[in-house]
Amino acid sequence: MPTISDVARHAGVSVSTVSYALSGSRPISAETRERVLASMKLLGYHPNAMARSLATRRSRVIAMIYPEVDRGLGGTGGEFVRASAERARELGYQLVLWPFRAEEARQVRNLVRQGTADGVLVMEVLLDDERIDVLEEAGIPYTMIGRTRDVTSRHSVDIDFEATVEATIEHLVGLGHRRIAFVNHSRESLEAGYGPTVRVAAAFDRVMSERGLRPLARTCSDSPLDGRAVMGDLLAADPHLTAVVTMNELATFGVFAELQRRGLAIPADVSVMGIVSSPGVGTLSNPQLTTMHSPGAELGRLAVDRLLTQLDDSSRPVPNLLIPCVFEPGLSVGPARTEPDDAPQRP
């Protein structure tokens, strides 16, 4: 079993430097810390968490508030959680999940007062989120994976939804698409002020309007059945639709099903592109869904790093980060078909 001395020797540092890298009791350079962590991983060294907790008076636990944990950890949300847990473990912490929704701020307050976590990551952030207010009032370090309405003095990492929508529409317009529809998350999430639902809806309207295009959009519950119904409604609203953008993984399966039920080929008749999604989800559809891949893994790691930076030095300013989704080619997007405006409505 490797010891802390073995790690120090392998990393070319002193034993005390390894200890500082683990405890955060003294500042060390990021390069040195990464070298120590790399040596630990390579040697298979697992520090004694209990001993370090007693020495630093920290629980060595990070809590992640993730309301959707009851739905499982597949798809895009799972990328955030898995990456955060892995990064926390690399840095000598354990990640626990707290399934509290915005309206359950009181439960968050109670757990925070018990000192069960050194800091908190918050997912599924609303524009006006009482959970964030509770954490600030309690003086608990936190980082949002998302953004409230004003993030001037708040730590956050998030997807750059505006840039993602810009790139998506630009790609489709470049393929000749002009009649583009958007399937969002549910109306309930929009009315509750869920950040991604609100921001993408606004970005889609703006980007389409700036190009002189009609921004046809619908909210949709997260289910394939509702996705089918919404796709039917969109075709009724514009029978000459050539492309659909979705930000709703489960509804996307319904979009596919409804198009295929009507005998419309994907992408020859209608292209479908998923945004804030994952290639893993895309492989479940036929043809394979073209996606704008959510940077969930990168954001999960960065969120942990920013949270632990607060634990080590709460006075150090940390800029908020926005990272756009990355284009992942599939088989569901192609050039727009040409069709006269007075063509009969499709079935």
The per-residue pLDDT for 5 is: 77
Q: Is 210 helix (H, G, I), strand (E, B) or coil?
A: helix
Domains of the chain by start residue, with CATH: 1-50 (1.10.260.40), 51-159+298-325 (3.40.50.2300), 161-295 (3.40.50.2300)
Residue 86: what pLDDT?
92
Mean predicted lDDT score pLDDT of the chain? 86
pLDDT given for residue 221 in this prediction: 95
Distance CA 313, CA 63 (A): 19
Helix axes 15-23 and 30-43, enclosed angle (nearest 10): 100
Percent of the chain at pLDDT exceeding 70:
87
Q: What is the DSSP letter of 92?
A: T
Q: Which residue has the tokens 């020495």?
A: 55
pLDDT one-digit tens code per residue, 312-339: 765 566 678 999 999 999 999 999 987 5
CA dist., res. 49 & res. 94, Å (int) = 9
Q: What is the pLDDT of residues 285-304, one digit of tens each?
A: 889 999 999 999 999 999 99
Return the pLDDT at 314: 57
Between 79 and 251, the higher pLDDT residue: 251
pLDDT in tens, 67-106: 865 555 556 778 888 999 999 998 889 999 888 887 788 7
